[in-house]
Amino acid sequence: MRVLGIEGTAWAASAAVFETDDPTRASDDERVFIESDAYQPESGGIHPREAAEHMGEAIPEVVETAIEHARRRAEADGESPIDADEGTSSSQSPSPIDAVAFSRGPGLGPCLRIVGTAARAVAQRFDVPLVGVNHMVAHLEVGRHQSGFSSPVCLNASGANAHLLGYRNGRYRVLGETMDTGVGNAIDKFTRHVGWQHPGGPKVEARAREGDFHPLPYVVKGMDFSFSGIMSAAKQAYDDDIPVEDVCRGLEETIFAMLTEVAERALSLTGADELVLGGGVGQNDRLKRMLGEMCDQRGADFYAPEDRFLRDNAGMIAMLGAKMYAAGDALEIAESGIDSNFRPDEVEVSWRGATESVDRAVRTETEVQGAEATVAIEADRVVKDRVPRSYRHPELDERLRVERTRQEVRLTSDARRHGVPTPLVLDVDPEAARIVFQRVGDADLRESLTEPHVSDVGRHLARIHDAGFVHGDPTTRNVRISSTRDGRAYLIDFGLGYYSGEPEDHAMDLHVLAQSLSGTADDPERLLSAAENAYREESDHADAVFASLGDIEGRGRYQ
């Protein structure tokens, strides 16, 4: 099978030809040809109009080059040649390609429309099926394909996006994502401030090598993360004459430690032991090393594709297009409109089995390896050690481990004082980042997902919010369920919690819970509404919180 791919969501006008006997698995015989023409802004960032002008000129050229390649390959394979001039297909002259795949979104509308028009024209010219590919799913599928991993957690670190994804129940679920800009765009904004030419990522990487770590704010909420505070602090540091190399080093160490931490959280939550990387920021060597080291430390496998498959390229579009085409997932021309806000979790995945899942059964053990800590389970107590993470800069690592240990002790006790079941704190050593807790419950919530239990969680969250603080990471692993005592639900792991009376912060807790349910439950919607109803009943300010939750869930759209 030979599939033509076309990419042009923002800066890369690219066309590719992917050839394989079996698109469902990687093989030594498959071949990918990629022809790209990058748009380079003269100053500032990507201008949508200029980008579209570039696409208008470059897309027809790269597409023709790819078709020419496909034609030569068809001839070499002994297929009878097609009419070389107009490509008018007939039963005597088979098409050099079997299908055309194109980036349908997300991306800049004017650019996407040019790609869509080109793809429709080629599909009609050769009378072959048209396949509409989600660009973000293509970023993650290329790594999954090449690694041969069965059901990995996927980290997409690209310009306009930053997502953690895992496949479950026929879709890629968003386990975590940026609360504001994409990771590459955040870096590019800093470099624009400094006056460097777009794209900024490679320049930050080069300068960071010569710098010393400059501390910047670190913001992780459950498996979500935010870059806005870091970027303002980085710009301010530059304006305050901190050497730019040091700010670049601080940026890399902070932003990539956040991405690595949330990736580890996703591995821990799902029980998966495979991670793949996708997206243009994935070309950064420091990010790859951090992720590799984190996976090594916890015995997971890590795969990052070569750079030409990480940055925007049509190869990944053709490769996923081939899987979709083989699954019969093609578009009618009349329904082939572009979608500039196309989210990865909107895609109904046709090319993977319905029962495959990122989620693995987690065995009960005497020692649990969480995302942050190692927890030794004893008869009636547990010992939680926040062991150093070698992937993090030592100064950042020390700061996070000590702060979170102190905060966890404080909030675990506060919650209990407000009538929320939590384990008793038996001993603490903040410098060693060690806490000894009473052992509670018989199973994590994820192994005991029922409406009454998640309703308890909803009620508990409402209570602590009314008391003026948040949990910070209320996932289905951070609730322990007791099989005695009326199936009591205990909240544990308050290390990411903080004091706040803001509805927006309270809504984040509900959002984290929702994301973790969609990553671990078969019927997340039913369970989530049970939790939300219980929250509404218990809370003093539910309306404000749900209004904020609506805003949070509407964000993450491509801008």
Ligand X SMILES: Nc1ncnc2c1ncn2[C@@H]1O[C@H](COP(=O)(O)OP(=O)(O)OP(=O)(O)O)[C@@H](O)[C@H]1O
Q: Which residues bind ligand X (CB under 6 A)?
A: 265, 268, 368, 370-373, 375, 382, 384, 423, 437, 439-441, 444, 477-478, 480, 492-493, 495
CB of 447 to ligand X, least distance (A): 9
Tell me: is residue 191 an annotated ligand-binding position. Answer: no
For tokens 């959002």, name the residue: 511
Residue 522, both tokens: 């078969």
Give the integer Cα–Cα distance in Å for 267 and 360. 10
Answer yes or no: is 58 a known binding residue.
no
Report which secondary-structure segment, H or E, holds 315: helix 314-326
Closest CA to 220 of 559, 508, 554: 508
Scanning the structure block, which residue is given the tokens 């765009």?
185
Output the smallest distance, CB 204 to ligand TXA, in A. 6
**Encoding tokens for residue 272?**
């998966």
Give the β-pairing of 99-105 and 130-134: parallel
**Quick check: 201 binds ligand TXA (CB under 6 A)?**
yes
**Using CB under 6 A, which residues numbered 122 to 151 contact ligand TXA?**
135, 139
Applying the rule CB under 6 A, the residues between 342 and 361 that interact with ligand TXA are none
Taking the complex as a whole, how short is the minimal distance between the CB of residue 459 and ligand X, in angstroms?
Answer: 20
Of residues 312 and 473, the one with the C-beta less far from Fe ion: 312
- Tell the smallest beta-carbon distance from residue 408 to ligand X (Å): 8
Q: Which of 393, 394, 378 is nearest to 440 (CA)?
A: 378
By CB under 6 A, name the one of 264, 312, 444, 509 that touches ligand TXA. Answer: 312
**What is the CA 106 to chain-centroid distance, rounded?**
14
200 binds, among ligand X, ligand TXA, Fe ion, none (CB under 5 to 8 A by kind): ligand TXA
CA angle 328, 331, 332 (to 5 degrees): 120
Query: Cα 382 to the chain's mean position, in Å?
Result: 32
Q: Which does 493 bind (CB under 5 to 8 A by kind): ligand X, Fe ion, ligand TXA, none?
A: ligand X
486 is catalytic: no
Q: Given candidates 95, 147, 284, 336, which one binds ligand TXA under the rule CB under 6 A?
A: 284
Relative to beta strand 434-438, strand 153-157 is unpaired
> What gap in Å lies between CA 412 and CA 142, rounded to an integer?
42
User: Toward ligand X, which CB reaches closer, 288 or 381?
Assistant: 381
CB of 161 to ligand TXA, least distance (A): 4
Six-digit token string for 190: 């800093």
| Catalytic entry in 473, 493, 505, 509 | 473
**Cα separation values, 256 from 130, 176, 286, 290, 447, Å:** 37, 15, 8, 7, 31
From the list Fe ion, ligand X, ligand TXA, none, partner contacted by residue 122 (C-beta under 5 to 8 A by kind):
none
Residue 213's alpha-carbon distances to 201, 247, 262, in angstroms, are 17, 7, 21
The response to whether 367 counts as a known ligand-binding position is yes
Binding-site residue ranges: 135, 139, 156-160, 188, 201, 205, 284, 312, 367-375, 384
Binding site for ligand TXA (CB under 6 A): 9-10, 106-107, 135, 139, 158-161, 182, 184-185, 187-188, 199-202, 205, 279-281, 283-284, 311-312
The residues carrying an active-site annotation are: 473
| Residues making up the binding site for Fe cation | 135, 139, 312
